[in-house]
């Protein structure tokens, strides 16, 4: 009888040890799988999350100030300076539709801004105010008219020159989709809104010496509503429109390549949207050594293209759900090739 009890205990011990071993093995496998699996969140899922989080409050301001500006110029080149305390992160947002230029200084001692006011030539400026947070200072410059801005960091701070929108010049709008809480599709650490913005910023940089002006509907990671984007196009007198987005194919992740869409109902002076879209798409595919997989007319789902009365198209500059293409879109060099392709297409089109 004692021998039977002893055997049962031995069996139970072995069973418990085996159970613990199998549980640890399963846990290790799950941890490894989670560390290597690429999580994909579709644009629709990301938008639903953004709507759920829309009620969350922003970081609370710890102070604000409006400056009394002295219009006695201390500048001979039409610029003024916003002092800042040495090295810091700087984000610039120019909104001609709202007549504002916003400078956001991050990772700074915000007390510096309290005792150091902007100085120089404030021609074209209506007011300047600041909002201070824990390690962030936001300086908002109000403009007398719808304006652009030339921003140049210097040893003394940030040099700013405000100049008016000129209706007579040829203007190309680059419209980076999503922004702010609206991320677009997310693949691991790659976010569609960031890729779109990176392409748009690079296009503007490459267009500095072109005979046309490139304006962006968003130049930082911020939410810009559709009606605000349309206001920017109207205020700037845009002549050509290029939307920037990415393709998503959740069902077939082997799908790769670039595509473009256009408003098939638009026609002006022998130049249709399909011609513009085809030129940009081919140029980008050649420069980026990628494939063009689709050129299609779109209807009601693309609000901006539907209402435009100028040549306009949306470039989908890659398929983010394809693993190999996602890796390419993480590369600054590849982003520049896409942007150069857009420039080459604009050079061939814009007259």
| Domain boundaries of the chain, sorted by first residue | 63-164, 171-349
Q: Which two tokens stand for residue 260?
A: 């473009």
Domains 63-164 and 171-349 fall in the same CATH topology:
no
DSSP state of 78: S
pLDDT of residue 2: 47
Tell me: domain 63-164, CATH 2.60.40, correct? Answer: yes
Question: Tens digit of pLDDT per residue, the chain (351 long)?
Answer: 444 445 666 666 666 667 776 766 666 655 555 444 568 876 666 666 666 665 554 556 666 656 556 555 556 677 999 999 888 899 999 999 999 999 999 999 888 988 888 999 998 999 999 999 989 999 999 999 999 999 998 878 999 999 999 888 999 999 999 999 999 999 999 999 999 999 999 999 999 999 999 999 999 999 999 999 999 999 999 999 999 999 999 999 999 999 999 988 777 666 778 899 999 999 999 999 999 999 998 765 788 998 898 999 999 999 999 999 999 999 999 999 999 999 999 999 987
CA distance 316 to 248: 9
CB atoms within 10 A of CB 21: 10
Q: Does domain 171-349 have CATH number 3.40.630.40?
A: yes
pLDDT value for 66? 65
Tell me how many degrees the CA angle 236-238-242 measures, rounded to the nearest 5: 125
Task: Report the b/e string of 24-60 with b at 16+ CB within 10 A.
Answer: eeeeeeeeeeeeeeeebbebeebeeeeeeeeeeeeee
């Amino acid at each position: 009888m004692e021998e039977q009890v002893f055997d049962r205990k031995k069996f139970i011990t072995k069973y418990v040890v085996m159970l613990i071993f199998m549980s640890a093995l399963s846990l290790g496998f799950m941890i490894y799988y989670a560390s290597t699996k690429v999580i994909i969140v579709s644009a629709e899922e990301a938008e639903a999350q953004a709507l759920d989080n829309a009620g969350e409050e922003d970081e609370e301001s710890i102070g604000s100030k409006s400056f009394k500006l002295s219009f006695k110029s201390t500048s001979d080149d039409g610029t003024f300076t916003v002092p800042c305390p040495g090295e810091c992160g700087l984000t610039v947002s120019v909104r001609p539709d709202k007549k504002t230029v916003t400078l956001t200084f991050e990772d700074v001692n915000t007390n510096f801004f309290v005792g150091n006011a902007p100085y120089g030539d404030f021609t074209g400026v209506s007011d300047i105010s600041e909002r201070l947070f824990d390690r962030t200072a936001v300086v908002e410059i109000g403009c007398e008219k719808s304006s652009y801005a030339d921003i140049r960091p210097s040893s003394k701070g940030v040099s700013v020159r405000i100049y008016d929108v000129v209706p007579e010049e040829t203007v190309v709008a680059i419209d980076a989709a999503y922004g702010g809480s609206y991320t677009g599709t997310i693949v691991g650490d790659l976010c569609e809104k960031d890729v779109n913005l990176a392409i748009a910023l690079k296009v503007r940089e490459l267009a500095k010496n072109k005979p046309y002006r490139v304006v962006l509907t968003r130049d930082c990671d911020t939410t810009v509503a559709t009606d605000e984007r349309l206001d920017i196009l109207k205020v700037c007198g845009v002549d050509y429109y290029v939307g920037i987005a990415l393709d998503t194919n959740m069902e077939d992740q082997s799908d790769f390549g670039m595509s473009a869409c256009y408003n098939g109902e638009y026609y002006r002076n022998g130049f249709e949207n399909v011609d513009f879209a085809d030129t940009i798409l081919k140029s980008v595919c050649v420069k980026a050594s990628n494939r063009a997989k689709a050129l299609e007319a779109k209807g009601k789902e693309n609000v901006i293209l539907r209402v435009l009365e100028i040549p306009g198209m949306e470039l989908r500059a890659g398929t983010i759900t394809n693993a190999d293409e996602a890796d390419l879109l993480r590369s600054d060099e590849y982003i520049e090739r896409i942007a150069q392709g857009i420039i080459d297409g604009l050079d061939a089109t814009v007259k």
